[in-house]
Structures are given as C-alpha cells and as structure tokens.
Structure 1
C-alpha cells in the first residue's frame, strides 16, 4: 500500500477547511414561489417537493458533506422554504394535510434554530461521529462492498473516491474542533478509535473492510483489464491511506488535550461543557424529544418517575419471597470469579431489600451463556455463527422466537393485520461491545447475545414487544402497508426518535393491556395468572430457561419485572442524559445511578452509560414520546367511552408515519373532533 504522506498541523487543516466550499453555492439556489392558482393542498406538496430537489442539488454526494459552509447553504434553503410554507393558507387544508404542514414547519424551525449557533456543523447526527453512531464503519463498509458485475465495479470507483473525500473532510472537521475547543472528551475519543479499528479490521488486515470488493475482483482477475484493476487498486489504496491518516490523527493530535483523562470518573464530558454547550444541548433535546421541555424539567421528571417505579418492583419481589423465602442461594459473578452467594431479599420485619433483589436477578442463572447450559443444533445455528457465543445465541433465539409467535397472536386483537414479517438476528461479534442490547432495522430485530452485554432471560417479553411487534417493526410496516392516499414523498422520509421510541415504549406498556403477564386487577396491574404471553401453565418449569422459575405465576411476575425494569430504564434516561450533558455528571455517576435504581446488568449499564454520553439528547425521547401517546390515549378513551376502539386509535397514530410529538397531539385532537 502507499506510504503515509507528511501530516499537516491541525491549524493548517482548519484554515484550509474554512476557505474551501465543497460543491455548494448559495447563489445557485433558485426558489420558485407557490403558484397562487394551485389549491392549498397542491401548494403544500409543491413546496415539499421543491425543497427536496433543492437539497438534493445542494449535495448529491454518496456520503454527504458536513461542514460549516454546507450548513450555511442548508440554512439559506430552509429559510426560503419556510417563507414559502407560510404563504399557504393552513386553515384551508384538510386535517390530514395539516399534519404534513405542521411536520414540515417543525423541521424548518428546528433546523433554522440549530444553524443560528456557532459551529453549525454540529447540528447534524453525523458530527461528531462517536462509537455509537460510527459512520466511519458504515461508510467504509459501503465503499469496500462487493459488486455484482464488472460494470457495477466500474461505477463504484466514484463511490470509493467520494468516501475518501468524505474521510478527508472529516479530518478537517476534527482539526477545526481543536481550534474551536469543541472536541469529544478523551473517554469517547478512545472508544471511537477502538470501535473503528475493530470494525475495519478483517483478519490480520487492519483495513480489510475497504478491500472486500478489490479482493473479489482479484479473485476473478480474468474478467477485468489490467487498467481497470490498477485503477480500482489505486482508489482503494487512497481510501485506506485517508482512513489510516484519520485514525492516526484521532489517537495523536486530537486525543492530546481532550477533556478528561479517559476515565469513567471524568466529569464535564457532556455537551454542556463545550463552548455554547448548554444552548446546543437544549437544541438537541428539543430535536429529539420534540416536546420543547427544558433540561431542568426533564431531569426532575426523570428523578420523580424513578422514585415512583420502585413500589411495583417491590410487589414482584414479594411474590418471589412468598415462593422461595427471604434467602435464596445462586451463583454470582464477582469480578472474574463465580461463587455461590446467599441473597437476603427481606429483613426479619419483612422489609424488602430491592438492591439485594436486583442482585439476585443478575445471578448467573438468568443470563444466556452463563447459566451452565450447552444449547446446540437448533434451527438458528447458522445465524448464530456471527455471534461470539454460539450456545448463548442459540438459547436466546429459541426463547425469542417462541414468544414471537405468541405476541403475533395477541397483537392481532388490537391492530389491523400486517403482512411484513421480521427476523431475529444476532449482533455480529465485532459489534457486541459497542451496539447496546438490541436494535431494529430493515425487518431485522438485532439482538446482542454476548453473555456479558445481553439482557437477562426475564427481559424476553418486553424487549420483543419493543423492537418487533407491536413495536418498531410493526410501526414501520404499518405505515408502509396502510398509507394515506396522497402522502407526500417528503413525509415518507422523515424520522423522529420521540415518535419511534415513544411508540415502542408505549407498546411495552400495551403488553399489560394485552394480558401478556396475566389478567389485570382493579388497579390495572397484572395478576400473573391466565397470561397470554410466553409463560404458559403447561410448561415444564424444571427445564424452561434452565429452571429459573418455580411456576407460571413466578415466570409471569419476572417477565413483568422486565417490563418494569425497562420502563425504569427510560425514567432513568431522563435523569442520566441531562445529568451528563447539563449537570456535568461522569460516566461513573451515571452508572451508579442506574445500578442503585434498577436491576440492569453490569454490561447493560456500561454500554448504556457510554451511549448517553455519545448519542446526545436521544435518550430523553423514549419517555417524552410515550407520555404524549398515553395522554392522547386517555383523552380518546374518556371522550369516546364505549365507542373507543383500539385498532382505530392505533390506525390514527400509525398510518401517517413519524411525526413530531406536538404534531401527534394536534392530529389526535382533530381526529377526536371528527368522531362527534
């Protein structure tokens, strides 16, 4: 490969970046005014369509340009199209079109507000890149991908060149961050470096991810001319050199002088400690929660909800005590050793020790791959080859797929049916340490099955409800299968984390209503009997999940505890995200807070705490969106009474796809008026 070129100083790179405008010119953006002869609905669609065209013309590169100059050009377009939108008579639109109007209005306002701050390049999910959203990994995977035909490889040369330009631009942006004193803290920089190296390496080749396509061509060299092979080799060499230079820079000049010593006890590592950081952080909160609540209010709300949640956790603990007694022996991991420990769940007066109960639920028997079982030869063996622990992966996929069938049967009573199916797949071994416990995308429920970074067995029900049906998968499939008749293309491409994650958290709660954990009592709490979920009365509980439950009642109670614990996680996220980014908390403070208030496992707490530090403001979206949906549900049930229908209510929430939560409120209220 090519040898490294002399490095320029960060200041020189920064000055160069300030003087170069890559492919954009404000003067070339021409915005036509809406034709006054068009109906308001047509004007709205024209504005949205023209906006998309203007943005596509502004930046047509494969990976996108992120710098202050491009941000300034985007700001100009946003302002022009906000002006055009305001010329449309909103009152003349249908309720459906008002949803689209208000969504477009929210987007332009939040974008314009973000662009008003210094360092506008930070008003983008992609900058600064972190281990949690590692675009270096994702873009390198695309640049290095194999192609189907020689013609495709010839076209792909330009994609690789654009990747190299993107990497060079990223180098410039991180160099500017040194000058601006707006760089990542040491602890997140090191995690970004480590995750990037882990992701790009293939075998012994540190940047093998970039060479998969080239290696495929060399394996079929008779199909290509010498000139084509030489050109492809050159662009891949350039891409590798640029990526190597960026990683070397991150672990030298960029890392030197970054905030903190790289320890979990480092304080002031959040966005609030950056120049103009508190204003930037509030903007991130507003963009993610879409509710407009200030950081102080969200923090206090989180702490209040955390305190309230413990009473129901004690009810589950009491049921376990009734069945097993106050003292339980189980294997416990203490650092690197595993030993038998006695868990005392209540004192002589019957006062429950929740922290001891939390520890019991993190004993070895509750983790796949740590419970002493060997699971093999299941239908999921081929899928699990990508994971680090074959037995843990196969055991988990067996349980999750059983509940998948149960959940689909129950969901059918609350929604219109969907046709699109999903697959449960393990997170690849090289991403297990960095990806968190689960995610959803492309009709795949991605499950982390690493024994140290996965969720406990009692989380199967709530995690599948959240990620798959009726959570993220169902939400995405429903909007595709039941779209409104004339949904603008712009609306089809929007995404709001408060809507998506608020919906998924709502579906966790909906599991109670659906009887997943048993019939409900007069207070709306599950009784743990006659459940519709995975804990069937006729199961052999001596063997099910390794014999961790005495019977169906305890199984339902602990699966319900999983729902409580996940709800508590979202409560804690309000406090922890704002704690790190508005109050100067360290990673250790965040971890201690989660450990004291939940039964999350150590690996889960570790990955979650780093996630909140890296993925700024996103963690508050879950509870923020959920609370709005629950409020709208209460209004609908109160107003419609016996006429309330779950499928109809859910249809109104889902068919339009993602919306800001303030738009969801308007949508449901207009829908309720129309029911009279």
Structure 2
C-alpha cells in the first residue's frame, strides 16, 4: 500500500487502529529524523488538521451526530499530539500565539466530545431561535444562482439541506430518549421564528424557492427534465422542514419538551437541569469566557459588579434632577395594558435620595424612544433603506442620529489607532427579524440596527451602541485584522472566532469612549465631567429639536449618553448573573427579567429579547465582561510598566492584528509585547 497517497483521515483511522492493537512486547526501531524548522512544523500541523476535518465532513451544512463528534475527537487528539511534539520555546512570539490558540481549541473540543451526548460539542445542538440554523441553511439552499451551471451544481446543496434537516429531526428524537430536550419556552420561539422567516410573500416556504422561482421565470433556458428534478429537490426540502416543524410543535412540545406551562414562570429551563447538565454548562462557560472561571464565581462577580455600577447611575440622576426637577412628567406606556398616559416621576425618595427605580422608569418614557416620541421623520437620505423596517419614521429618525455620531466618532477614534480604510454602513434589521435579533449586530461591514419602536434601544444609547458595534468596536476589530495582518498568519488562525475576545473588545471600546472624551473631560477619578465633550452632544446644537428635544443642554445630553454607557456596562454585569442564574441556579425567564428591571434602565422590549436569548444561547452572555476584564487588566499592566513609553496605537495593534484569541492567550501575548517594549 502506498501510504503517501492516503488522506489524513485515513491515516488517523489507521493510526488509532494500530495503537489499539499494540502491546508492551512490540519493538520499534527509531529511524534518523530530519530536523524541521518549528515554524514550518506548526503550519504543517494546522494545514493537516484542516484537511483532515474537511475530508471527515465535506457536506455543506455539517453532520450533527454523536458518531461524527467522536470522529472529530479522534482527529483533535491526533493533531494535538502533533502540536505538542513541536518545541514551543523555539517559536517566535507570534507563532506562540498561534500554537497556544490551536492547543486551546483542541483541548476544549476534546473535553466536549468526552462528555455524554457528544453531539452537544458541535456548538450547534440544540438549535434555538437565537441561532436558528434551520432558517439560515434554508436561505442558502433556496438562494438564486448566477448561471445555469451554478444551478446544476446547487442541486446537491438542496439535497444536502434536506438530509441535514432530516438528521436534525432524528437528533431531536434522540434527545427525547436521553432526556436532553429543550424547554417549552424555547420550542415556542424556535417554531414561531422559523415559520416567520421561512415565509416570503404569501408562500409559507418562500425562502426555499428563490432559486426555483428564478428558474421558472426563465424555463426556456433549462431542460424540462432538469426543471422537474430541481422542483422535486425543493419539494423534498420543503417536506423535510414541514415534518420537523410539525414534530416540534406537536409530539415534541406536548409530550416531551421540558417543563409544563411553557411560560415565563417555568424554572429549571437551563442546561444545568439536563442530565450531566452542570458539567456541560461549565464546558460552555469555558468555551465562551476562555478564562476557566467556574459558574458560581462568575455569578458572584456579576452580582458585585451590578452593585458597584449603581453609584455612577446615581450621579447622573442627580444632575438630571438639578437640570429639571425632582418630579418631571412625561408620557408613560403601561407594560401590561399598553396604554400611554402622562405620569409624574418622583426621582427623590422621602429622605431626599435618588430613587433609581423611578429614574429608570423616567428614562423609559415615550419621549426617549424612536417611533414612540410622537415625531414624524420622513424624506431623509435613508428613506429607501428604511423600507425594509417595520416603522419607516422610527428607522429614518434613528439612522439620522446614528450616522451623525458615526462622523463624530471617526474623527476621535483616529487618535488611538492606525488608520482604517474600510468603511461600514448602518442598515436596519428587516421587519421579519426585529423581534428575534436583539438591538444590534455587526457583520460584513454592516452595523445592523434594530429600529422597531418596541425592540430598539433608547435615544440615550446611540453613542454606546455605535462604539460597540462599529468604530472602534466590531468593525475595527474585523477590518484591522484584515488590513494589518502579521506577515505569516496561518490560514487556520484567520478562521477562528472567540466570543470573549470579540465581545470583550467591543465592551472595552465602550469604556474607551470615556478615555476619548466622548462624554466630556475626565476628573481626577477618571469619570466624565460632561463638559467639553468630543461626542455627539455639541455646544452649538439646538436642544429644543435635537433628538426630539429630550435634553436641556449639552451637559445633560452628555450625562444621559454616558448613562447609556453605564446601562450597557450594567447589562454585561447582569449577564454574568443572569446566564449563570438560568443555567446553574434554576432561574425562570420571569426571575431573569425582574432582576434586570431592578438593576438597570433597559426597556421592556430589550429585557424581553435578552432574557430569552440567555436561555437559548448558552454561556455566550458571560463572554462580554470576561473578555473585557482581561483586556482592562492588560491595559493597566502595560500603562503601569511602560509609563511614558506606552502608546495607544501600538497597544491596540498588538491586541487586534492577530485576530481572535482565547483570553488566556491574550494575556501571554500582551505580556510578551510589554517585555519587548522595554
């Protein structure tokens, strides 16, 4: 047999089989080895691993089974061994980052596949409304193609989608056997979001038929047999999805989903309630936070940070009382009845202290929301773009404000970074996704903004959300690693992604807004004074009309935009407590929502979507603050040790140019960079 022609997976299988049959009496004759450069060895391991994984599963949508998870684990173990045979000390500091990242990846994957029900280790099971791969994959399967040749090739993609859907159906069946079902509160949202997104026009399965509709419009270009074949493939896909949805909303929901009522009061809806659930949840935390902190430690950290954040919120409230009064009035929407009526807010208690809960309510009055403030905005340059949103006026109004701050932020950010050439655009989330996608996201140089009046952030959150999602947040993170890559960055590293790094960076950039003077000059304690700000609240603005006249002057405008930063930071503090509360302590959705209402000024719609998100997107919520705290710790260390030699642009360059890394690898990277600067 000529082993030189064997694919990597075949070599894995042969090696594992050979090892299984070895005994202590086997004699090996070690052959002379040619010493290879460690850097080349490292890249050879990366390339070999990727080829092995691609060979193992070459399907478009991936195979999700316990057997596939076990096969992937065999590959992970083999290539981890290969990696650890490389002399790490002989690598450059850059290559040590790549070495450590690959090592972390393999170890976390091996741990996941070693637990019971290893299909959970794919990060894709169970599918929920927040990461709905049913609709995402359906969109790919149903997409229009450019040429006839492309359509012939795409037939296989549609068939693979059908196979993937049928397999997913079987995995949910298997979950019923081993008691690893989703709770009813998540099944309800999964089914409703799937149906809503699949429907295009009046066709419940229109998302699957864009390509087929295009073929039918140009039938003269295609052979009749091919049209029939393509139609059958689409019909088969539709049948598979129909079968899955019907199963989920009937037999699975009625007889097998966890909990009884299926409403917000159900407890033990988290992963911790599953068989082996606490071990699985800790694995999810480790994968997402990349810090190794146990669930209860993260929970306590969240509780402590939530308490600390309230002091600055009180300072902002005191300024608002000074500017306005202790008893302002505004239109208020009752969360139960939906009725809007004028309400007086008592911002001071009987002892003359700030009543934060009243202040939170005041900042959620109708005047602070686009589309609920009674203003009609139309005819802006964003009119056409906003046709995708559910509320044209709210969308245009929001895009005017966000784009105004975009211009201001770009000028300030330039002082802290190397220049970025790639620009981004701000686009509204489509109407059919507004209820499921959260308040904002970033991807492909687009800042996706939720402009639905009931699911969007308040006007005083404009600065914070743009800093987080765009510049210098996710957009800079993405563009920087592309525009300023290291000289020999391996392809494997270009494709890794860590929530703690990505979201920790975005939360760090929210904090960086303070350093950049977005909310005013800083006092001796590093807190903004709300004076001479570099952000959106300019002295020469007409505050009777700016954002609908919600501020008395620039100082109050800066204070409330700063409150937005505090409130978003508080959201991330609460995520530590709420994620662990749901999945480790057995909280219900209702408990999570009450906790967030008591400790922040988040709107009802935001709290609604966020609470279900934490239940569905297991462990991801802890990543934000976990990553942020590591970056801040490394910043403090760099500034302390380098003193006058510290340079913002150079520090950010070291953080960003390698792309995503586990936070424990970030620590090593920055420590090595600090040593090199001395």
Q: TM-score range by the shorter chain?
A: over 0.9
How far did 1:25 drift? 7.8
Distance of 1:27 and 1:656 partners within structure 2: 31
What does 1:120-139 align with in structure 2 at a 5 Å threshold? 120-139=118-137
Residues 34 and 47 of structure 1 are in contact (CA less than 8 Å); yes or no, is this contact kept in structure 2?
Answer: no
Instruction: Supply the distance in 2 between the matched residues of 1:419 and 1:218 (Cα, whole angstroms).
Output: 42
Structure-1 residue corresponding to 2:518:
516
Query: Residue 127 and residue 34 in structure 1: after superposition, are their counterparts in 2 closer, same or farther (change >3 A)?
Result: farther
Q: Which residue of 2 aligns with 1:478?
A: 480
Q: Which residue of 1 aligns with 2:270?
A: 270
TM-score, length-scaled by structure 1: 0.95
1:408 aligns with 2:410: yes
Normalized against structure 2, the TM-score is what? Answer: 0.95
2:93 is matched with: 95
Distance 1:418 1:34 in 2: 50
The alpha-carbon deviation at position 257 of structure 1 amounts to 2.6
- Is contact 1:167-1:242 (8 Å) kept? yes
**Equivalent residue, structure 1, for 2:25:** none
| Distance of 1:635 and 1:119 partners within structure 2 | 42
Indicate conservation of the 8 Å contact 1:34/1:84, yes or no: no
| CA drift at 1:37 | 2.5
The counterpart of 2:495, out of the listed 493, 513, 516, is 493
* Cα contact 1:72–1:115 (8 A) shared by 2: yes
For 1:594, the equivalent position in structure 2 comes to: 596
Residue aligning to 1:195: 193
- Tell me by how many angstroms 1:671 deviates: 0.8
Cα deviation 1:376-434 (Å, max 9, x = unaligned): 01111111111100000000000000000111100000000011111111111111111
Residue number in structure 1 paired with 2:106: 108
Separation in 1 of the partners of 2:492 and 2:34?
21
Give how far 1:348 is off.
Answer: 4.7
Question: Contact 1:25–1:73 at 8 Å: present in 2 too?
Answer: no
- The equivalences for 1:173-188 within 5 A come to 173-188=171-186
Q: Structure 2 CA distance, aligned partners of 1:64 and 1:673?
A: 43
Counterparts of 2:350 and 2:435, CA distance in 1: 41
Q: 1:38 deviation in Å?
A: 1.4
Instruction: Label 1:342 to 1:100 Cα distance change in 2 as closer, same or farther (>3 A).
Output: same
- 2:655 matched residue in structure 1: 653
**3-state secondary structure, aligned to 2:49:** helix
1:125 deviates by 2.3
Q: Deviations over 1:513-542 (max 9, x none)?
A: 000000000000000010000000000000
Identify the residue that residue 35 of structure 2 maps to in structure 1. Answer: 37
Q: Output the CA distance in 2 between the equivalents of 1:31 and 1:356.
A: 67
Q: List alignment gaps of at least 5 residues for structure 1.
A: 1-23
Give the Å deviation of 1:114: 0.7
Query: 3-state SS of the aligned residue for 2:345?
Result: strand
Alignment equivalent of 2:370, drawn from 343, 368, 373: 368
Aligned to 2:631: 629
Distance 1:165 1:124 in 2: 18
Once the 2 structures are TM-superposed, how far is the Cα of residue 35 of structure 1 from its aligned partner? 7.3
Q: Report matched runs for 1:217-296 at 5 Å.
A: 217-255=215-253, 256-260=255-259, 261-296=261-296
* Distance in 2 separating the partners of 1:613 and 1:91: 42
Following superposition, the deviation at residue 150 of structure 1 comes to 1.2
- Contact 1:570 / 1:622 at 8 angstroms: preserved in 2? yes
| Runs of 4+ more than 6 Å apart | 24-28, 30-35
Is 2:197–2:432's contact at 8 Å kept on the other side of the alignment?
A: yes
Counterpart position of 2:331? 331
Please report how far the alpha carbon of residue 221 of structure 1 lies from its aligned counterpart in structure 2 after TM superposition. 1.3
Give CA-to-partner distance per residue, 1:442-481, whole Å, 9 cap, x none: 1110100000000000000000000000000000100000
| Mapped contact 2:69–2:122 kept (Cα < 8 A) | no
Q: CA deviation at 1:219?
A: 1.1
The 8 Å contact of residues 515 and 532 in structure 1, kept in 2 or not, is answered as yes
Q: What 5-or-longer segments of structure 2 have no aligned partner?
A: 1-7, 17-30
Cα distance, 1:106 vs structure 2: 0.3
Count matched residues. Answer: 653
Q: C-alpha displacement at 1:202, in angstroms?
A: 1.1
Moved more, 98-107 or 342-351: 342-351
Matched with 1:20 is none
Kept in 2, the 8 Å contact 1:367–1:451? The answer is yes
Q: Alignment RMSD, CA only?
A: 1.4
**C-alpha distance in 2 between matches for 1:197 and 1:35:** 60
Contact 1:458 1:558 (C-alpha < 8 Å) held by counterparts:
yes
Give the structure 2 partner of residue 560 of structure 1: 562
Task: Decide which of 46, 56, 64 is 1:66's aligned counterpart.
Answer: 64
Residue 328 of structure 2: SS of its match in structure 1?
strand
Q: Structure 2: how far apart are the matches of 1:379 and 1:493?
A: 36
Are 1:309 and 2:305 an aligned pair? no
Q: State the match for 1:85 in structure 2.
A: 83
Taking a change above 3 Å as real, the CA distance of residues 151 and 34 of structure 1, as seen in their structure-2 partners, is farther
8 Å Cα contact 1:519/1:526 also seen in 2: yes
| Partner residue of 2:143 out of 135, 139, 145 | 145
Q: Distance in 1 between matches of 2:142 and 2:296?
A: 45
- In structure 2, how many angstroms separate the alpha carbons of the residues matched to 1:412 and 1:556? 21
Q: Which residue matches 2:164? A: 166
- Residue 609 of structure 1 and its aligned partner are, at CA, apart by 0.2
Instruction: Give the structure 2 partner of residue 393 of structure 1.
Output: 395
Deviates more, 1:346-355 or 1:393-402: 346-355
CA deviation vs aligned residue, 1:110-135 (integer Å, no higher than 9, x gap): 00011110100011222110000000
Q: In the aligned structure 2, how far is the partner of 1:36 from the partner of 1:606?
A: 61
Separation of aligned partners in 2, 1:30 and 1:188: 43
- Going from structure 1 to structure 2, the CA distance change for 1:527 and 1:218 (only over 3 Å counts) comes to same
Give the SS at the match of 2:164.
helix
State the alpha-carbon separation in 1 of the partners of residues 147 and 490 from structure 2.
35
